[in-house]
Amino acid sequence: MRSYGSVVIGNLGCAVVLCFPVPLALVVGYHAWRAGEDWAWIAFAVGGAGSAAIPPMALRFTRAAFPRITRRDGLKDRSVSYGDDTFVLWAPRSEPGPAQARLVRADVLEASLVHYEPEGGGTFTTYYGDFVPDEFTPLIRMRLHVRDDEETGGGAPFDVTVRCRVPSLCLSAVTAGRLAVLIDPGRPADPADPGVPGRVTPLWPRSALLAGTRTCRVIGLDGRLTQVTRHPVRQLRQMRISREAGGIEMDGDTIDLRSLDPAVAARYTAVAEQDRAAPEDRAPVTEPGEEYRWLVDSLPGEAAGFGSVGRRWSRRGGVLVRARFLQMTATHTFQYHGPVLDTVLRVRPADGTPAFDAARRMTVPMGYLAVLHRTREVVLYAAPNGRSFVVDWPRTGLLAGTGAATVITPDGRELPVTGRPELIWALMNLLASRGLSNPAPVLDLRKRRLRGAAGAVMAVLGDSASPVTARGR
């Protein structure tokens, strides 16, 4: 477990090495002054100014690379109201496509990573201009089941294989298995597959909305608020209206019909009435066959694990806390592990003080973004004084299910606990309170250093540790 101070010291050393000629000017100035040279003050001025810039440079590097959060990061902009179930996603826009193209739903049957190898490693790369660079956009191969339908003047469903760049913020739509796509009958389809009526192009921000990654609400003309998240039929109808109307902006995650053109608002109201007359079942968090769309293992990011523990941090009363992402906004800066995003988090301190919202720019691993439709929770380790919090990506990944969490009992039985976040959370806290590190996703109680905690771990597992339950899994 890295501490903030150790990272600052490391970056300070790197800054000194990178700016070595600048402090060297002080030495040159000193010798020139001893020799009575008139230009010695110039060397002192250059060296002093350059040396004074080194600490701020080290702090800036640390803030960019080390996801530390304090109350000074408190959210200043309150223009968007964040409920506990709100998640706002501002992703780069897709091209609107030709007017004759039909907007329909497509289910992802299979997906695999074709290419993602940007240069630069851990360095930050910034692009200027409103676009997503191919270098940091994974190329994904997908087999789609396109639900062309009579509502859009289409025909029977069909399958098609496409290769396309998927923005990192929208990877969860692939894992969830629901996409919003355009079928363009004016462009030639694959000659080898005459059953495809036109070119199929995914619309990525709308796909994230259809997949349920981004929450969606509608305020009717009567002021009534309706939750529309994971109602794909209604959402597709709303998307078609928005597309025909030339685009309708969402305020956070909400569309307020009272602010729309009356004719457009009437069409939205008709869709709402149609939904009330024949209520739509809420779609599952992920469509069946997720194992064939599981891209997480191919994407970069820190490996999931029960986490490392600093003994000094544990002895002084450091604890783990949970936070939740409320908003993610794309920026023009990227890193190998993932995009650099402007985020808003709701942090819930362990001391019982009220939760607070913090705005923080940080690198979010692509593996975590690929399961963003499941959870927006994140694990933080709190400083013993409770004044600062640091994002713990290995623990966050394990809690989110990016790695298979397993407990091996003292008698050698393997107990899978993946998909049980509350149980994983309890185990993480137990290990942290005892100062026990376990960076791997497998907690092997047969190891000597873990034997002292085996009884407490088994007590937390409870009925899960019974032989019958273990065999049933």
Q: What is the pLDDT of residues 184-198, one digit of tens each?
A: 987 776 666 677 888
Judged on CB neighbours under 10 Å (0-12, 13-18, 19+), 298 is middle
Mean per-residue pLDDT for 84-111? 90
Q: How many residues are recorded in the chain?
A: 473
Residues 120 and 240 in one domain: yes
pTM of the entire structure? Answer: 0.87
* Distance of alpha carbon 379 from alpha carbon 372, whole angstroms: 14
One domain for residues 171 and 262: yes
Residue 349 lies in a domain: no
Asked if residue 136 lies in contact with residue 118, where contact means CB atoms within 8 angstroms, the answer is yes
Please identify, among 237, 265, 292, the residue that sits at the C-terminal boundary of a domain: 292
Instruction: Give, as one character, the DSSP assignment of residue 283.
Output: P
Question: In the predicted model, is pLDDT for residue 468 greater than 60?
Answer: no
Helices (H) and strands (E) in the chain, counts: 13, 19
350 falls within a domain: no
Exposed/middle/buried for residue 130 (C-beta within 10 Å: 0-12, 13-18, 19+): exposed
User: Does the pLDDT of residue 386 top 80, yes or no?
Assistant: yes
211 in the same domain as 113 = yes
pLDDT for 45? 80
Query: What's the pLDDT at 472?
Result: 36
Q: Rounded CA gap, 410 and 356, in Å?
A: 41
CA distance 241 to 248: 9
Same-domain status, 134 and 280: yes
* Residue 169, domain member (yes or no): yes
Max Cα-Cα span within the chain: 94
Average pLDDT, the chain: 87
How far apart CA 314 and CA 383 sit, in angstroms, is 10
Q: 369: Cβ–Cβ under 8 A, 6 or more apart, which residues?
A: 168, 169, 171, 172, 338, 339
Given 269, 292, 315, the domain boundary residue is: 292
**Residue 462 in domain:** yes
Please, are residues 66 and 4 in contact by the beta-carbon 8 Å criterion? yes
Give the percent of the chain with pLDDT over 90.
58
- Tens of pLDDT, residues 58-97: 667 667 677 889 888 988 877 777 888 899 999 888 888 8
Look at residue 6 in the predicted model and tell me its pLDDT.
65
pLDDT value at position 330? 93
- 174 and 237 both lie in a single domain: yes
Q: Are residues 250 and 135 in the same domain?
A: yes
471 pLDDT band, cuts 50/70/90, is: very low
Considering the domain architecture, whether residues 102 and 61 belong to the same structural domain is answered as: no
Q: How many CB atoms lie within 10 A of CB 424?
A: 24
Distance separating alpha carbons of residues 94 and 130, to the nearest angstrom: 11
CA distances from residue 282 to 172, 268, 271 in whole angstroms, order as listed:
18, 19, 16
Domain boundary (243, 277, 292) is at: 292
Domain-located, residue 300: no
SS3 381: strand
Instruction: Give the residue with greater pLDDT, 52 vs 358.
Output: 358
236-239 own/partner pairs: CB under 8 Å, 24+ apart: 236/103, 236/104, 236/105, 236/180, 236/210, 237/271, 237/274, 238/268, 238/271, 239/103, 239/180, 239/206, 239/209, 239/210
Residues 131, 39 within the same domain = no
Note whether 139 and 129 are within 8 A (CB). Answer: no
Mean pLDDT lowest among 52-56, 144-148, 300-304? 52-56
**Quick one: which of 448, 307, 461 has its CA closest to 391?**
307
Is residue 472 one of the residues assigned to a domain? Answer: yes
Please tell me whether residues 133 and 58 are part of one structural domain. Answer: no
For residues 153 and 232, membership in a common domain is answered with yes
| Number of domains comprising the chain | 3
What separation in angstroms does the CA of 380 have from each of 305, 399, 406? 14, 12, 21
Does residue 315 form part of some domain? no
Summarize pLDDT for 306-336 with one digit per residue, the tens.
Answer: 999 988 888 888 899 999 999 999 999 999 9
Q: Are residues 120 and 251 in the same domain?
A: yes
Q: Are residues 341 and 328 in contact, defined by beta-carbon separation less than 8 angstroms?
A: yes
pLDDT of residue 385: 85
Closest CA to 364 of 338, 396, 332: 338
Question: To 10 degrees, the CA torsion angle through 247, 250, 251, 255?
Answer: 110
Containing domain of residue 436, as a range?
Answer: 404-473
C-alpha torsion 359→364→367→371, nearest 10: 20
Q: Which tokens is 177 given? A: 């298995």
Q: Is residue 79 part of a domain?
A: no
Is residue 3 very low, low, confident or very high in pLDDT (cuts 50, 70, 90)? low
pLDDT given at position 473 = 34
Whether 105 and 49 map to the same domain: the answer is no
